[in-house]
Structure formats: structure tokens, C-alpha cells
């Protein structure tokens, strides 16, 4: 069997994400899928920035479990866009497009 590469290759998870997912290594695709499964199961989406959770929309409402993961995010993309979620609080939102930065900040 061929060795997994790219997004399918398992990566080591930082402590908070490992505790949340119950695994120490997973491929990025699986990390993202499991985060989205949690978000949808707990109806943590909204259509407006810092709106109430309504189970639909492009914003993710932060609960206590997600906060432990999201607050590790302070990164700069190749295009220069900064994603700093270190001061995020429960109930605040992030744009779903920031999920890649969240995953990247929580792997070693």
C-alpha cells in the first residue's frame, strides 16, 4: 500500500486538539471533518458575525470546547492575511474560511 502524502498524511496533534478528538495523530482532512461534525452536531453556525447559533451560515460560534482549540491560532498566510484568535471568547464567531488556519495552528 502506498504511503499517505499531502493532506492524507497523518500529522501529530497538539494537546488541546488531541484531547478534543481523542487521537494523537490524524490526517488534516480527518481533523477538519471531525471539527465540522462537532460544529454541526452542536448547531454552532450562524449567518452573521457574532450572531446567535442557528445551525446555518458561514460563521462558527465558539463554545468552551472549541475555544481551547481556536485560541491557539495566530498565523499569517502566504498572502499576508493574519489570523489571530488568541483573544477569542466563548460566544464569539470565526469565519469558516479560518478553519485551515485553526487546523494548521493545532498540529506539530
For position 47, what pLDDT does the model report? 92
Are residues 76 and 82 in contact, defined by beta-carbon separation less than 8 angstroms?
A: yes
Low-confidence ranges of the chain (pLDDT < 70): 1-4
CATH dotted code for 11-105: 1.10.245.10
For position 4, what pLDDT does the model report? 66
pLDDT tens per residue, range 18-34: 999 999 999 999 999 99
For position 8, what pLDDT does the model report? 79
Judge if pTM exceeds 0.85: yes
For position 51, what pLDDT does the model report? 85
The domain limits of the chain are 11-105
In degrees rounded to 5, what are phi and psi of residue 84? -120, 105
Amino acid at each position: 500500500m502506498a504511503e499517505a502524502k499531502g493532506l492524507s498524511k497523518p500529522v501529530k496533534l497538539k494537546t488541546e486538539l488531541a484531547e478534543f478528538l481523542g487521537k494523537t495523530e490524524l490526517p488534516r482532512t480527518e481533523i477538519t471533518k471531525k471539527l465540522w461534525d462537532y460544529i454541526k452536531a452542536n448547531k454552532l453556525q450562524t449567518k452573521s458575525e457574532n450572531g446567535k447559533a442557528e445551525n446555518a451560515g458561514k460563521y462558527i460560534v465558539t463554545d468552551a470546547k472549541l475555544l481551547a482549540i481556536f485560541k491557539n491560532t495566530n498565523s499569517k498566510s502566504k498572502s499576508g492575511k493574519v489570523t489571530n484568535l488568541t483573544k477569542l471568547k466563548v460566544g464569539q464567531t470565526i469565519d469558516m474560511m479560518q478553519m485551515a488556519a485553526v487546523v494548521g495552528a493545532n498540529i506539530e
